[in-house]
Each structure stands twice: as structure tokens, then as C-alpha cells.
Chain A
Amino acid sequence: MDQQTALWIYQKMNEIRFFEVEVHHIFGKGLIPGFVHLYAGEEAVATGVMALLDDEDYITSTHRGHGHAIAKGCDIKGMMAEIMGKKDGLGGGKGGSMHVADIDRGMLGANGIVGGGFGLAAGAALTIKTLGQSHVAVCFFGDGASNEGTFHEGLNLASILDLPVIFVCENNQFGEGTPFRYASASETVAERAPAYNMPGVRVDGMDVEAVYEATEKAIKRAKAGEGPTLIECDTYRHFGHFEGDEQKYKTDQDPNRDRDPITEFREKATKNKWMTSEQADEIESNAKKTVEDAVAFAEASPLPDESTLYTDIFA
């Protein structure tokens, strides 16, 4: 990993963390309607993958999508405004937290439907392949989503068509209040990949570098026309499933419970001289400021005009 990449990763990790902590507070004040699922704790996955993508690459996201969106380069002000249901939101306030999207940045949307992204990502990869482009599509999905039929259909389809797609599982050990070890007959998600004739690797999802390296290999394979890869990232969410969750199912034995991918990366990056601690401090305070500005922007943004209820149905 080079210095520039490390600085970018550290910046995005911090932006995600400050963003999510801020959303947690704002939700607590009752300023955000509906359901909000926070990404805090899983920052190493989104940033480790996205450090290798550019605007022309595609991603599909999940209900826990803020981190993916920030790392993919979505405008943070527009995201905050969207989550607060305001006019200047990325979707004009019509989608909200579960539907944050920016197709111009290759972000094909957070998704309210668990398992909704497998086929969509395969479809984006089909476009890439058919048009002869040199990009990839990445499908982020949870351990819980891996038990939907769409997982199996999506992986099989992508494999037989040799599509340039990477399936990135964020295994945070739970789907809502149900442990992965209960819900899955296989011990890991990665071990299912060979059944679909693709590599399946399991990495420490709290370690950005590990995610980064696995992604690098998968991209190489995809761009060489060799087809999809499945990467399972072992991770953990700091907050509840959604805001308001009592988290009665969490235990002291959850292995990643006390780990923080951001402090771990700061340590590693300073030790490896990718980043000085002064640089790290500066990135942290900039990220905090970026998020504070986003909140001010979102609060000042008006509600959408009522006429927009009826627009954007057809092209």
C-alpha cells in the first residue's frame, strides 16, 4: 500500500465514523424518520475495497449503506440531507437512509431488500463485459443476506458468464438478532464459493490491508476475464442492528467486539510510515469538520417541494 492510498483510506474511515456517530445523535433527537442502520465498526471493509475502485466501477450496497456511499465518493452533504429527508439530498429526500444512491458515481444504491444486490451487481458487470470496458462491479452483502436464494442465483449466474464482479460479504456475525452460526449450515460464506467455481477467501475485515490485498487480487482476476471472486470479511458492528435495538444477542465472546479498525489502521499506518501522527490528527479533525458542515447544510436545506411527490416515475 502506498502513502497516498493510506491517507485516503484513513480519511474515508474517519468520515464514515464521524458521520455515523453524528447520525446516531441526530436520530436520538428524533430528527430522522424511519429506520437507520449504522456502519460504524465495519469501516475497514468499505475503504479497503473502494481504495481500488474509481467512479467508473460500480457497487451495490445494502440497508447498512452509508459507509459504502461515503467511500465510493458520494457527496457527504447530499447524503446527510437525504437521510434527513431534505430537498438537497442525493435523491431529493425521496429515498432516505435505506436508499442513498448516486448512479453517476457508480453507487447503485443502498437497498431495503436484503439480498437485493446480487443480481444487480451481476447486471452491472454484464454491461461492463458486453461493452468491453475495463471496470468491475462489487456487490456488498451481509452474512444474513448470504442465506437468500438470490445469493446462490447471483453467484452461479456471474460465474457461468465469467462476469467481472466481486462479491464482498460483510460478516458481522449477526443478521438482526440471529447469529450467523445458527442461520448458516456452512461454517463460513467463503467456503460456498468453490461450489460456484470461483475463489472464496476469508479475511480479517477489521484489517484494511487484508481487505485491500484480497480485493486487488479479485480485481485482477475480474479484469483478466476470469470471472468473479467471493471475499468474506470478518467484522462487527458497533451499534445495534437499527437505531433503538437493545442488542440482547451480543456476547462478550464475540471476537471482534473490542476491536476498532480505525485505531488499528492508524497504528499500522504510522508504524509503516505511510502516515505521520500529525497527518493522522489533521485527517481526523478535517473529517469531523466535513461531517459538521454536512449537518449544518442538511439542517438548512428545506423540505422537498410537495410537487416532487409525483415526479420521477417514468423517464
Chain B
Amino acid sequence: MTERKVTFMTAINEAMAQSMRKDESVILIGTDVAGGAEVDHLVQDDGRYDDAFGGVFGLSKGLVTEFGRRRVIDTPIAEHGYFSAAVGAAATGLRPIAELMFNDFVGFALDPILNQGAKMRYMFGGKAKIPLTVRTVHGAGAGAAAQHSQTLYGLFGAIPGVKVVVPSNPYDAKGLMLAAIEDDNLVVFSEDKMLYGIKGDVPEDYYTIEIGKANVVREGSDLTIVAIGKMVQVAQEVAERLNPDGVEVEVIDLRTIAPWDQETVIESVKKTGRLIVIDESNPHNNTATDIASVVADKAFDYLDGPIKTVCAPNTPVPFAANLEKAYIPDANKVLHVADEIIEDLKKSHTM
């Protein structure tokens, strides 16, 4: 395996290309996933297509050139229509990747996911498969304001029949994307737009990462921090900042938020006795509160202090740069919220 560093975006693009090479039934469908449909000068002399956008972030650039407009399909701006079509196609033999440009547009795309794709197999007594990957984008930090910055993976994760993965780095993004496409179920793959430019080691080979398994990215004995997506970086920073005080933090990158890996999280809490969950979602009915409730239930006897969740406030995402910064969970906020358990910990270390 050759060592090379690629961006988060390239990793996802490469995963989609590799799966499309491997399996003819994989298609990519969404608004401007190529762009420039029926624009004459974007057709090359050999009949292949150039894209005008390759997705608004340029993530799917080049795919239409390799796979053509039959398999890389630009849609009208009609999320309900093409998400329904993606579910219908998935139920009948294709393996679509459908892009929801920003997760905030879910209002127009929800019924096909909530009432159709997620429930068909169950309602049909196990006689249907919906191998659909929904690629979407979440997260604040880009100044994109209230309708383009939300973190909504928890909303998808609350639907029975839907799996949700949230990668935190390029390596995971590629392996989880390939696993999502291979999966015979509806998988929402939610990308934090603030991670798009980060680089990391990504093997060129085809490889998958198991959906439903968390990744312990740092071992420690004093405090467990479970983090999602971009928040894994925050957890790592907290761990570094507590290290001089002798506090050993275990950081768990959740990777999949539905179904999340109860075993790994509970094992860790049994060891450390303390838990913080960082989740950029609004603070109620989200992945963090779910983890807190399950751990309180199943590992109560092992806890040495209260479980803390660090989330965005219960507000829409503001536009102004300073307000947006105040909105997003960061290491200072984690340290502040977690003061109580951390003071307790420091005391036990100095004793």
C-alpha cells in the first residue's frame, strides 16, 4: 500500500469512483453533481463530458467524465422527486448514491427517507432491500447561516431503519463511504463541510470500515470523551490540554451515530468512570443525549460523576462571525462544562 495524503473530499470522491467501477448498479444522482448538462462546449471531442461544478463543493468532480451522464445524473432542483426516485430505484435493483447538497434541505427530501426508504423492508415483511446511500453535508463554521449550517444527523439517526455515519478524517471517510455503498440498507453519510480541506493518509486500495463500530483514537484511564465528526479534533485538544495535569483521556470517535457502538462506549466508561460527549447538534434529543441516557442506564454503577454533554446551544446557527464561533463547541467550552468532573479528577491525582 502506497502512503499518500489526500483531502477528505478526494477520499470520498475516490470511494465513489471505485465503487462505480466495481459495480454497474451504482449511480450518483443530485443537483449539479456534474453541472452543465446539455451545454455543448462541455462535451469533449471523444464524446466524454466535462462538469461545470462536480457538486457545489467540487467533491464529485471528474465522475461524469469517467462514468457519463447515464450514471452521474444531474437533477432539477426537486429533492422530493429525486429522493423518491432514488428509493424506488434502490428497491428495484440500483445502488444509488443520492446527494442532498446541504442537510438543511431535508425538509423537501424527508418523506422518501422517513416514510418510504426506512420502512419498506419492515412493512414488506423483510422482502425488500434499500441499498441507498444518502450523501449530505452538515456543520457550522463557514458563515453559511441558519439554513445551510445545521447539524442534523441526529434527526436521521432517530429513524428506525436508517444507518448514519459521520466520518472525522479522510481515511475513515473513504472506508466508511465504501461500506455505506456496499450496505444493503439506507445509509446517511453526513460530511462536515469544515473537514473538506483536511488531509490525511488514505490508501489507494479499496477498503471498508465496519459500520456500527466506534474507533478508540486515544487510550486513557481517567475520562472518556465520545466525539462525532469534526468534534473528534476538539476531544483530542481537550485530551492534550489535560495531559499536563496527569489526566488521561480516552477519546472515542463514534464514526457511526446510528446504530452507535454501545459496547465500545460502555467498556470505556467502565474503565474510566467518567464521560463527556461532544456533538455539534442542538442540545436536545440528539446523539449526545441518547448516549448519556444509555450509559446512565447500563453503566450507572461504574460512574464516578455526572455525564456531561457539550453541544451547540438551543438556537439556530447565527451568521455573524463572532456569534457563529460562540455557537460551535470548542475545547474551552468542553473544559468549562466539564469543570466539575475535571476538578474532581485533578484532586484525585494530586492526592
Contact = CB atoms under 8 A, between A and B. Distances in A.
B and A form one assembly: yes
Interface of A: 32-35, 85-86, 91, 93-99, 111-115, 144-145, 147-150, 175-179, 181-184, 246, 248-249, 251, 303-304, 306, 308-310, 313
A96 B315 contact: no
A51 B53 CA distance: 37
B144 interface: yes
B148 interface: yes
Interface stretch (B102-110, B211-219, B241-249): B102-110
Nearest to B36: A249
Interface stretch (B90-98, B119-127, B258-266, B322-330): B322-330
Contacts, number: 151
Contacts of B56: 176
A309 B76 contact: no
Contacts of A313: 314-315
Interface of B: 31-32, 35-42, 50, 52-53, 56, 74-81, 104-105, 107-108, 142-148, 313-315, 318-324, 326-327
B76 A144 contact: yes
A308 B79 CA distance: 34
A81 to B, nearest CB: 10
A93 B324 CA distance: 11
A309 B327 contact: yes
Contacts of B326: 306, 309
Contact of A304 (B31, B81, B104, B320): B320
Q: Name B's interface SS.
A: loop
B315 A310 contact: yes
B28 to A, nearest CB: 15
B32 A33 contact: no
Contact of A98 (B76, B148, B327): B148
Given A94-B320, A149-B81, A179-B39, 14 more contacts: A34-B319, A86-B320, A93-B319, A96-B319, A98-B144, A99-B146, A99-B147, A113-B147, A144-B76, A144-B77, A148-B108, A179-B36, A309-B327, A310-B313
Contacts of B38: 179, 181-182
Contact of B108 (A35, A115, A175): A115
A93 B321 CA distance: 9
Contact of A176 (B31, B78, B142): B31
